[in-house]
Structure 1
Amino acid sequence: MSRPAPELLAPAGSPEALRAAVEHGADAVYLGWGTFNARRGAQNFSEEEFAQAVAYCHVRGVRVFLTLNILLTDRELPEALETARAASRLGVDAVLVQDWGLLDLLRRTLPDLPLHASTQMSVFTSGGAREAASAGCERVVIARECSREETAEICRSCPAEIETFVHGALCMCYSGQCAMSALIGGRSGNRGRCAQPCRLPYGVNAAARGQRPLSLKDSCMADHLSEMGDLGVSCLKIEGRMRRPGYVAAVTDIYARLLEERRPPTPQERECLERAFSRSGFTDAYWRGKTGPEMFGFRPENAAPAEEPAPSGTDRRIPVEFTCAVRAGVPCSLEAGDGSGNHIAVSGPVPEPAGTRALTAEDLSARLSKTGGTPYRCANVNTTVEPGLHLSAAAVNGLRRDALEALSAARSALPLRRELLPPPLPEADCGEAEPRLTVSVVHAAQLTGGLLDFRPARVYVPLELLADVPSLPETEAEYCAILPRVWRDRDEDLLCRWLDKARVLGAAGLLLGNLGHFSLARGGGWKLYGDYGLNVFNSRSLAWLREKGLDSACLSFELRFSQMRDMKKILPAEAIVYGRLPLMITENCLIQNAVGCRCDRPNFLNDRTGASFPLLPAFGHRTEVENSRPLYLADRPDWRRLGLAFGRLRFTTERPEECVEICRRYLEQAAPAGEFTRGLYLRGVE
C-alpha cells in the first residue's frame, strides 16, 4: 500500500539503528557523521559507514539527512564545510544546520545541497519560518512547544516544508536556548554534549526537593498523525539518536503502520511504545496548547528496555516490473523498472535449441519472480518466449541478478552538485580598543538616575515593561527595547502596538534574540542589535547578521575569551560581562506548576547542593531560569582587550542600589564582593 504524506523520519545513531529504521518503515533517516552534530554522544558513523548507509538507504527508497546542527567556532567551520562537501558527494539528501555562519557558508559553497533548519534554531512563528526559508532552508523543524493551531499557521504561511517531532524526549527548555548543562558542568547542549541536568531532582522555593520539575514526559503524537498531515506538515520526526536499535525498530514500525492505515494506535501498540521507552507515560499537551504538572515524569534507573520487534509483515521492498525477451539467435534481454523513473536493460546468453523440454513463458516468469534476499519484489513480469528454445536456470538467475544490480546502481546514483570556493569574509573591522558599557534591566525600579549617571552607551528595557511605564528618565544613553525571547503569531499585533508605544517613549533600538524578530522589526526605522539568543559563535555569523541589517550583535557566552578575541569583528560585538546568565527559557511556568501563580514575588529553583536559581517570569506566562551566581569580570582586564565594542551589565535580581554599585565597581575595575562566577569565558565548553 502506498503511504500518503507526510514523510516518516527516524533516528539513526548507529549503523544498527539505521538498518532497524529502514527495515521497519522509515521514509528517511537522520544521522551524525564526524564531530559536529547535536548528539555527539551517539555512536554515529565513520566515513566508510556513512557512504554505505547512503547507498543502502537510497536503494531502498529511503532518504538520508546529515546533522551538522551545533554551534561552530571559526577554527571548526572549514572542517564542517569539508564534512558537508564529502556528504554531498556521497549523495546525502539534506543537511540540518543550526549555526548561521555554517548556513551561509553552505549556501554559498554548495548551492545545490538542500539545507534544513534544525530545531536548534528556535523557530516557533511564521515569521521565523519564513526567514529560515529566505535564508536558503527548504525545510524548517519547528519547536516542539508549538500547538496544533500554531503549527497550522506556520504551515499556511511558510513556503518551506515544515517538520515536527512526533515521538521521543522533550527538553524543558526551548531547543537552542538552553545553557544549563554548559554553565553547570561545562557540557554544552548547543555543542552536542548535553549532560541532561534537567532530569535531576529539584525543588521550587525550597519545597519538595525530591521532585523533578524540569523532567518532561516523552512526547507521543500517535493519535494526531492524520491531523498533522491534513494541516500540511511535511515530515514527522521520531527523536532518539541516543536510543537502542530496538527502540528505533519498535517506534518506527508502529508509526509507519499508523500512517499507512490512517488510524490511531491500538491499546497493544500504545503498550509497545511505553515498553520501548517512556517517562511515567507520554504527553501530547503542547500539541493541545496545554501546559501543567501532568506533563512531567521520569524513568526509573532499573527500567528494562524492550527487545527489537519482528518486522510487522508489511512488504516494504521496492516493486519491480520485468520485461524479458527470449528469441532464437539473439541474446536474451531483460528490462527492469521501479516505477520511480529508473529503467535499465541487460542482456544474457543466446538461447539454445531445446532438447527434451522447451522454456515456457510460465517457467521464465516463475524464475524471474524469485527476488528473495534483495531489496526488491517482483510486481509484474512481461515475457516474450519463442517456441523450441532452452535457457538454463543459472542463465535466468544471472540475468535477474544483473538487472537488479543495475537498478540498484541507478537508484543510488550520485547527484551532480556544484562546488564553489568559500567566499572571503568582508574587510570590515569594527573592533574597538576599549568597550563601552551597556546595561539591561528587568524592573522599572532598577532604572534610576544613579544608574544613568554612569552614562551607559545603551539601556536595554523589556518591551513589555516599556508598555507599562508612562515615561523614561532623561539620559544621553540610547534606549533599546528587548523583544520577548518567546512569543507566538497571535501575539504579534500586541507586540507591534507596544513597539509604537516604545517609539513614543524615545526608544531608538531593538534587541533581537530570535530569527522571528527580524520580520517584526524590519521596515520600522529601528536600529537593530542582536541578542545572546541568536547564538553568535563565529565570524561568518557576524557577517550573515550584518547582511540581515543588524548594527551590532551579542556574542554567545559559551565562547572563551580567546575565541572572542580571534573573531573577526565584521559587526560591532557585545558580550555579557556581568549578571546572572540565563540557563533556560521554558514554555511551562515552573512557579505555577509548583506553588501556584505568585510570579510577582521572588521564586527560586533549588538543587541538591543547596544552590538557588532565580526564576524570572517571562512574556506569555513562561519562565526564565537564571544562574545561581552572577558573572563578575570587573577585576579581569582581559575582557577589555578582545576588540569588543560593548560590555553588557545584565541586571536581573539586583536591587536598584546594587545596580548602581555594580556600575561603580566596573568603572573602578574593583574586586568582587560575595559569591560569583567567571562563567565559561576562561574554561570554555565541550
Structure 2
Amino acid sequence: MLSAMPAAQPLAASVPAVAPALARPELLAPAGDWECARAAVENGADAIYFGLERFNARMRAHNFTHADLPALMAFLHQRGVRGYVTFNTLVFADELAAAEEYLRVIIAAGVDAAIVQDIGICRLIRQLSPDFPIHCSTQMTITSAAGVAFARDLGAQLVVLARENSLADIAKIRAGGEATSTSLPLEVFVHGALCVAYSGQCLTSESLGGRSANRGECAQACRLPYELIADGEKVDLGDRRYLLSPQDLAGIDVLPDLVRAGVASLKIEGRLKSPEYVASITRVYRTALDRVLGAPTAAATPRAPESASPAAADPHYELQMAFSRGLYTGWFRGIDNQALAHARFGTKRGVFLGTVAHVGRETVSLRLAAPLKPGDGIVFDAGRPDEREEGGRVYQVVVAGDEATLHFGHGDIDWRRVQAGQRVWKTSDPALERELHATFAGEQIRFQRPLHLEVHGRAGTPLTLIARDGRGHVAKVASALPLTPADKQPLKLERLRHQLGRLGGTPFTLGDFSSLLEGDVILPVSELNRLRREVVAELDRQRAAPPRWTLVEAASRATSWSASTPPRAASAPVATQSAADGPDVVAVIRLPEQLEAAWSAGVRTLYCEFENPKHYRTTVARFRELQATDPWSDRSASSIWASAPRVFKPGEEWILQQVRSCAADGYLVRNYDHLAFFAADRKRGDFSLNVANPLTADYFLARFGLERVTASYDLNLAQLEALLQSAPGASFDITLHQHMPMFHMEHCVFCAFLSDGKDYRDCGRPCETHRVALRDRVGAELPLKADAGCRNTVYNNRAQTGAEYASRLIALGARHFRIEFVNESADEVARTLGRYQQLLRGEISGAELWRELRLINQLGVTRGQMETAPQLLSRPHS
C-alpha cells in the first residue's frame, strides 16, 4: 500500500521569513562541467564547487582540467560567484609530489578555497601558502566541536559537517566552539543524495571491488537490494529490499532553522547530475532562502510563459522532478529509522501520480494525485525496480469525474506486465526541462546581483559615481563635463536612478541608490550613460582579477616525514619497539569469548571493540587474571586496548567515560574527540583516521603523542609499500587479516526493520537479542553489528589476507600486524592466530598460509584491497 511508504515529508511552498539581522548563508551548487557551472550561476548560486582531473571524490563526473581554471575563475568572479576546488580524496605517499604541483596551480589560479579530506594535504597546503583557504570536507567525518577545533588547528577556514548531524547537534557544535574560542564557519548539505554510510568511513566499494569511495570511485552498493537475515532465517519484509538506500535529502523545510543556527554555507549535492538538475535545485533554494531572509531574490530568473505548470507554484514538485528517491529532511530533525529509508527502490522515481485502478486496451485509469499532461513520461512500479520496468510517454489524458484515463502510443507498453494496484510515477516533464534549459543556454546574463550606487557633486565640479558590488569591490568614476545649474529637469533622485540603473546585459541590477548632489544641477544623458558603462567595466576588471594568495617557493615544500611538525604532545610513558625487533601479532577481538582463545594462542597485545561497552570491564579484568597466572608472561610486554565507537556526536561523553572506566592499558583513537578525551592515556590510531601518507601519520604521532597509527584500508600493496618507504615502518599497525568493515552508518537496520521504533528509545534493542546479516544479490551474508551509539557496521563475510605480502612488508620495516575477527569461534581465533605467528617467525610461507586459509575457511578468503589490480564492482544507475 502506498500509505505504508514513509515518503517525502511535506515541503513548505511558502517558507516563513526569519529575523533579518541573521547572517545570509552562502548557497553552494555543484558543477561537473561548464554547462553545470553556467546553470548554477544563472540560477543564483553564491558559489560552486567542482573537481579537476585528479584528487576529487567524483571521478565519474566530467570534471574540469587545471587548464580550465583561469577562464573558469574569471567567469565566476565577474559574476560575483566563488569557486571551490574539491581536493577531497586521500592522497598516497607516492602521489604527494603530484599533489603539490596540482595545489600550486590551484592556488596561483585564484581559486577561492580547496575542499580537502586528507589531513596531510591540509598540512601541505599550509606549507605552500599561509593564507589560501582550506575547507575541511565532509569526508573528514567531523561531527562535533572537537572535530571543528581539530580543523582550526590544521589551519582550516570552514568545516563541512557530516550529513548525520542534526539541528540540535549543530547548535551544540557552535556553542562548544564559541565557549572554547575554536569555532569555524559551518557548512551543511541541504539537498541531494544521502550516503547511508558516514562519508570518509565507507569501505564498501574498496572491499568488494577495489574502488575506494575515499578516492572518488564509489560504486553505490548502498543502492542495491539486500535481504535481512536474523538468527539464520530470512525476515519477510515484503517489497522492502533496498535496506541501505536512504531517501534523498531535502532541507527546504528547515531552511529557517539552518539560518537561525548560523550555518555559513548551504551545499547542494550533485556533481554527477545534469545542468538542468543544477538549475532546478539552485533556483528553488535561491528563492526559498531569499524568502527566509525576508529579501527578494536578487534577480529571479523569469519563468517561461508555458510554465503555468506545477513547478511555478510548488517547489516540492520541481525538487521531485529534478531527481528523487523520495524526499526527506534526513537527520536534521533527529533520527527516525522508520522514515529515512523506505526500502522500496533505490533509483529515481519523480512525482507520485497514483495507483492503477483499471487496465484497458493500451490505457490505464487512475485517480491522479499530481498534474499530468500529454508528453510527460511515466513508469509503472511493480515493486521490482531491479528488473526492467514498463513506462513511456503519455499520448492523451482523458478526465472523467475524479478518474483519468491515460492513453499511450501503439506498442509503447507491454500491457501484459501492467496490472491494477501498481503505483505510477511521473518521471519526466519535458516542458519543465525546456524551461530549465532556457535559464542557462547561450551567453545571455540572466541572474543579476545588486549594485549599490551613490553620486556626489555640485555645480562647477564633475559628477562622481561610486559603485559597490557587496563583495568588497569599489569603483569610482568622474564625469568629463562639470555639473551645471539646472533651469529645468534637474538630476533628481528618480531620474538618476532610472538612467544609472539601466544595467540590462550586465551582471548587476540596481540595489541601494543615494544621491548626495548639492543643489539643482544637470548633466547630459550621454555622460550619465558613459559613467554607468565605465563603472561597470571597472568592476568587471576588478572582479575578474584572481585573489593573490601567498605561494612559497618549491624549495620550501613539506612532503617528507617530520616536516615542520610541532613537538610531541605530553602523554603517558610509551612502550617502543625498534625496527630491529621481530614482528609481532596484534589480535583484534569483537566478542569477549575470543579473549582467552587469543591468549592461549600466545598473542599478548589485544585490541577490543565491543558492541556493549560494559564488556570492557569484565574483559580487562579477565586479561589481568591471565597476566597474573602466566609464569612466562612479562606483564610489561602484554597489553589490552579498548576502542570507543568510531563516530562521536554531541551528548555521547558517557560512552567515552564508560570505556575509560575499564582501565585498559591504552585506547584506540578513532576520531577527533578521542584525541582530546584520551590525551593523558596511552593511545594508538585506528584505521578510521585514514592515514594514507607520511604527512598524516607524522601529524598524529608527533602532535598528539600516538604510539602508532593504523595504515589506511584504502592502500593496496604498492601504495602501502610507498608509505613504508617514506616513514618508519614500526610507526604503523598493518592489518594483515580481517573482515573489512564496509558500511559504517547512523542508519540502524535493527531498529528500522526489526522494530517499529524510531531510535534507541523505543526500538526494544533488537541488536541485543538477534544475530543479523544482510544477504546481497550473490547470496553473501554480510555480518551486521551495532555499537554503543546505535550506529551499525556491515562487515564483509569473507576474510581478506595479506599473508603473501608479509615478508615484503617486514623487509620495509613493518613490525606490528593486526589480525582481526568478527564472529569467529574460539577455535578459529586460536588456529588463525597460531598460523600467522608461524608466518611472521618464518616457519611457513605466505603462499602456504594463503592456500591453507582458502581450504579451511568455509567461504574462502580474498586478498582484498591489497591486490594492486582491482576487480571492478558493477554499480546501479545513480
TM-score (norm 2): 0.71
> Is the Cα contact below 8 Å between 2:644 and 2:655 reproduced in 1?
no
> Which deviates further from its counterpart, 566-575 or 95-104?
566-575
Report the 3-state secondary structure (helix = DSSP H, G, I; strand = E; otherwise coil) of the residue aligned with 1:137.
Answer: coil
> Is the Cα contact below 8 Å between 2:800 and 2:862 reproduced in 1?
yes
User: C-alpha displacement at 1:56, in angstroms?
Assistant: 2.6
Q: Distance in 2 between matches of 1:468 and 1:397?
A: 83
Q: How many residues align?
A: 674
- Shift of the 430–126 alpha-carbon distance from structure 1 to 2, 3 Å rule, reads farther
User: C-alpha displacement at 1:54, in angstroms?
Assistant: 2.2
Counterpart among 810, 834, 844 of residue 664 in structure 1: 834
C-alpha root-mean-square deviation of aligned residues, in Å? 3.4
Q: Is 2:277 the counterpart of 1:247?
A: yes
Q: 1:190-209 maps to which residues of 2 (within 5 A)?
A: 190-205=214-229, 206-207=234-235
> Which deviates further from its counterpart, 257-266 or 125-134?
257-266
User: C-alpha displacement at 1:682, in angstroms?
Assistant: 1.8
Q: Distance in 2 between matches of 1:263 and 1:311?
A: 24
Q: Is 2:305 the counterpart of 1:155?
A: no
1:575 matched to which residue of 2? 734
Counterpart among 256, 265, 289 of residue 226 in structure 1: 256
- Shift of the 467–285 alpha-carbon distance from structure 1 to 2, 3 Å rule, reads farther
Counterpart among 536, 554, 558 of residue 714 in structure 2: 558
Report the 3-state secondary structure (helix = DSSP H, G, I; strand = E; otherwise coil) of the residue aligned with 1:377.
Answer: strand
User: C-alpha displacement at 1:676, in angstroms?
Assistant: 0.4
Q: Distance in 1 between matches of 2:287 and 2:333?
A: 23
User: C-alpha displacement at 1:189, in angstroms?
Assistant: 0.7
User: C-alpha displacement at 1:552, in angstroms?
Assistant: 0.4
Q: 1:267-346 maps to which residues of 2 (within 5 A)?
A: 268-279=314-325, 281-297=326-342, 298-300=346-348, 303-304=427-428, 307=433, 309=436, 316-321=448-453, 323=455, 334-338=465-469, 340-346=471-477
User: C-alpha displacement at 1:185, in angstroms?
Assistant: 2.0
User: C-alpha displacement at 1:36, in angstroms?
Assistant: 1.0
- Shift of the 57–584 alpha-carbon distance from structure 1 to 2, 3 Å rule, reads same
2:588 matched to which residue of 1? 440
Q: Is 2:40 the counterpart of 1:21?
A: yes
Q: Is 2:605 the counterpart of 1:458?
A: yes
1:522 matched to which residue of 2? 679
Report the 3-state secondary structure (helix = DSSP H, G, I; strand = E; otherwise coil) of the residue aligned with 1:130.
Answer: helix
Q: Distance in 2 between matches of 1:388 and 1:595?
A: 80
> Is the Cα contact below 8 Å between 2:203 and 2:742 reproduced in 1?
yes
Q: Is 2:90 the counterpart of 1:71?
A: yes
2:657 matched to which residue of 1? 496
1:509 matched to which residue of 2? 666
Q: Is 2:505 the counterpart of 1:373?
A: yes
2:14 matched to which residue of 1? none
Q: Distance in 2 between matches of 1:388 and 1:493?
A: 74
User: C-alpha displacement at 1:659, in angstroms?
Assistant: 0.2
- Shift of the 493–592 alpha-carbon distance from structure 1 to 2, 3 Å rule, reads closer
1:677 matched to which residue of 2? 862
Q: Distance in 1 between matches of 2:519 and 2:653?
A: 74
> Which deviates further from its counterpart, 622-631 or 641-650?
641-650
Deviations 1:126-182 (A, max 9, x none): 222222222222211111111222121011112111111111111111110111112
Counterpart among 171, 175, 179 of residue 203 in structure 2: 179
1:417 matched to which residue of 2? 549
Q: Distance in 2 between matches of 1:368 and 1:5?
A: 27
Q: Distance in 1 between matches of 2:498 and 2:332?
A: 51
Q: Distance in 2 between matches of 1:387 and 1:231?
A: 49
Q: Is 2:818 the counterpart of 1:648?
A: yes
- Shift of the 326–244 alpha-carbon distance from structure 1 to 2, 3 Å rule, reads farther
Q: 1:599-618 maps to which residues of 2 (within 5 A)?
A: 599-618=768-787
User: C-alpha displacement at 1:386, in angstroms?
Assistant: 12
Counterpart among 752, 769, 784 of residue 593 in structure 1: 752
Q: Distance in 2 between matches of 1:342 and 1:632?
A: 59
User: C-alpha displacement at 1:390, in angstroms?
Assistant: 8.7
> Is the Cα contact below 8 Å between 1:358 and 1:388 reproduced in 2?
no
> Is the Cα contact below 8 Å between 1:285 and 1:295 reproduced in 2?
yes
User: C-alpha displacement at 1:57, in angstroms?
Assistant: 2.6
Report the 3-state secondary structure (helix = DSSP H, G, I; strand = E; otherwise coil) of the residue aligned with 1:66.
Answer: strand
Report the residue type matching 1:517 in the other structure.
H
TM-score (norm 1): 0.89
Q: Distance in 2 between matches of 1:512 and 1:388?
A: 73
Q: Distance in 2 between matches of 1:431 and 1:69?
A: 33
Report the 3-state secondary structure (helix = DSSP H, G, I; strand = E; otherwise coil) of the residue aligned with 2:621.
Answer: coil
Deviations 1:175-231 (A, max 9, x none): 101111122122211001111111111111144697111111001111111112212
User: C-alpha displacement at 1:388, in angstroms?
Assistant: 12
Q: Distance in 2 between matches of 1:41 and 1:21?
A: 20
Counterpart among 87, 104, 123 of residue 85 in structure 1: 104
Segments of structure 2 that go 5 or more residues without pairing to the other structure are 1-16, 178-182, 295-310, 350-378, 380-426, 564-576, 628-634, 756-765, 840-848, 873-878
- Shift of the 436–389 alpha-carbon distance from structure 1 to 2, 3 Å rule, reads same
Report the 3-state secondary structure (helix = DSSP H, G, I; strand = E; otherwise coil) of the residue aligned with 2:864.
Answer: coil
Identity fraction in percent: 31
Report the residue type matching 1:451 in the other structure.
A
Deviations 1:213-250 (A, max 9, x none): 11110011111111122122222211111111111222
Q: Distance in 2 between matches of 1:335 and 1:621?
A: 59
Counterpart among 75, 78, 82 of residue 56 in structure 1: 75
1:531 matched to which residue of 2? 686
Q: Is 2:639 the counterpart of 1:478?
A: yes
- Shift of the 558–122 alpha-carbon distance from structure 1 to 2, 3 Å rule, reads same
Segments of structure 1 that go 5 or more residues without pairing to the other structure are none
- Shift of the 359–343 alpha-carbon distance from structure 1 to 2, 3 Å rule, reads farther
Report the 3-state secondary structure (helix = DSSP H, G, I; strand = E; otherwise coil) of the residue aligned with 2:122.
Answer: helix
Report the 3-state secondary structure (helix = DSSP H, G, I; strand = E; otherwise coil) of the residue aligned with 1:680.
Answer: helix
